[in-house]
Structure 1
Amino acid sequence: MLDVSGLVVDYGPVRALDHVDLVVEQGSITAVLGSNGAGKTTLLRALSGLHRPRDGAVQLDGHDITRLAPEDLVRLGVAHVPEGRGVIAELTVEENLRLGGLWRRDRHWLRSGTGEMYDLFPPLADRRHQRAEALSGGERQMLAIGRALMSRPELLLLDEPSLGLAPRVSARIVAVLRTLREENGLTLLLVEQNAATALSVADRAVVLHLGRKVADDTADTLAADDRVRRAYLEV
């Protein structure tokens, strides 16, 4: 579904991604692992149109999307949940969700879609009329994912969804990711610093180190690779 080849991203004189290759199969969960500064967030920002690559190519279903604007990528079925649980604090839960689906101009989906998000994330249903600023960290993360899903994406880019969350909340979000893949056929590219969490849910994983890809294999194989774990994944 997604084919990344030779991707290069620079921040001034600093090379954040150095000729990274990546393939994401349709209907799979692919994890991107590595320590801080590895280039994980930069990769997602480049794929979602927030950073323009210096070199390389990105194809979605065989179509070149390398230099498309973020809004064009959303229309093609790409949704990005950035690190930090970015929701609009002044809006209610329901308003945040509806905002995620507004570009579709589909009133029926705005009604039915919010209901689906409440089924997926029951804690949000009880808080639908509360402002997002009143939510806990876990609830904000659920809302951020729900808002992205309201655009009805085919590819969901997730940046550190378990960061700063209690283990119980993190486990609930991981369970939702499994549901999205298994029942909805959604394709996910998941950035995580917590390797154990990511490998428990992913089909395949790549490891970045200082902007370069240093490993790429099935999740089970990487989880069992002591050399990779010691060198790149233990923090």
Structure 2
Amino acid sequence: MLEITGLVAEYGPVRALDGIDITVERGSITAVLGVNGAGKTTLLRSISGLLPAKSGAVRLAGRDITRAGPEDLVRLGVSHVPEGRGVIVELTVEENLRLGGLWRRDRAWLKTGLAQMLELFPPLAQRRRRRAETLSGGERQMLAIARALMSRPELLLLDEPSLGLAPRTAAQIVATLRTLREDTGLTLLLVEQNAGTALSVADRAVVLNLGRKVADDAAASLAADDRVRRAYLEG
């Protein structure tokens, strides 16, 4: 589904990604792990066109998307849920969801997709007429994910979906991600600082440190690797 080769990204004089190679298999969940400043968020921003790559290549199902803009990528089947639960707080839950599916210009899907999202996230169904500003942090994260899913992506990029959430709420969202993959075949690239949470749901995991890839293995193997955990996943 996704192939990244030699990806370099910079913020001015700072090289945030230094020659990253990653392959994400179709229908899999791949976790990107590392401490703060490792380059995790930068990786997603580079894939989704928010931060132009300095060099290297990003391919989606064999198609070069390295220079594609965010709107073009949505049309190609890529949705990005950034860190921070970004929803439009002045709009209701339902209005946020409809906004996520507007570019498809498919009225039938808007109705079907809306019903599916409310079934997938029951707390949103109970609050569909309320403004997003009234939602809890966990509910806003559910809404951000559901809005991204309204564009019917093949690849979903998630940046720290459990950040700042109560453990129970974080576990519910992780369980929903697993259900999505199993029921729809959706491919997910999941950035998480909570390694335990990510490794519990991922098929494969990549560890970044200071913009470089330092580990890439099956999630179960990395979960059992004390050396990797101590060196790159703690603190």
- Number of positions where the alignment pairs a residue of Structure 1 with one of Structure 2: 235
Normalised to the residue count of structure 2, the TM-score between the two structures is: 1.00
Number of the residue aligned with 2:54: 54
Shift of 1:207: 0.2
Could you report, residue by residue, the CA deviation over 1:53-102 in whole angstroms, capped at 9, with x for unpaired residues?
A: 00000001111000001000000000000000000000000000000000
Q: CA deviation at 1:234?
A: 1.2
* Alignment correspondent of 1:193: 193
Match of 1:219 in 2: 219
Secondary structure (helix, strand or coil) at the match of 1:7 reads strand
Look up the match of 1:19. Answer: 19
- TM-score under structure 1 normalisation? 1.00
Secondary structure at 2:42 match in 1: helix
* Uncovered stretches (5+) of structure 1, i.e. residues with no partner: none
Alignment of 1:107-118 (within 5 A): 107-118=107-118
Alignment of 1:21-170 (within 5 A): 21-170=21-170
CA RMSD of aligned residues (A): 0.4
**Which whole-Å CA distance do the structure 2 matches of 1:212 and 1:45 have between them?**
16
Gaps of 5+ in 2: none
| Whole-angstrom CA distance in 2 between matches of 1:83 and 1:73 | 18
Distance of 2:2 and 2:71 partners within structure 1? 18
Q: Give the corresponding residue for 1:180.
A: 180
Query: What is the DSSP-based 3-state SS (H/G/I as helix, E as strand, rest coil) of the residue aligned with 1:21?
Result: strand
Partner of 1:10: 10
Alignment-mate amino acid for residue 78 of structure 1:
V
Tell me the amino acid that sits aligned with residue 175 of structure 2. A
1-side partners of 2:197 and 2:74: how far apart? 27
What amino acid maps onto 1:173 in structure 2?
I
Return 109-118 or 191-200, whichever deviates more.
Answer: 109-118
Q: Cα distance, 1:112 vs. partner?
A: 1.1
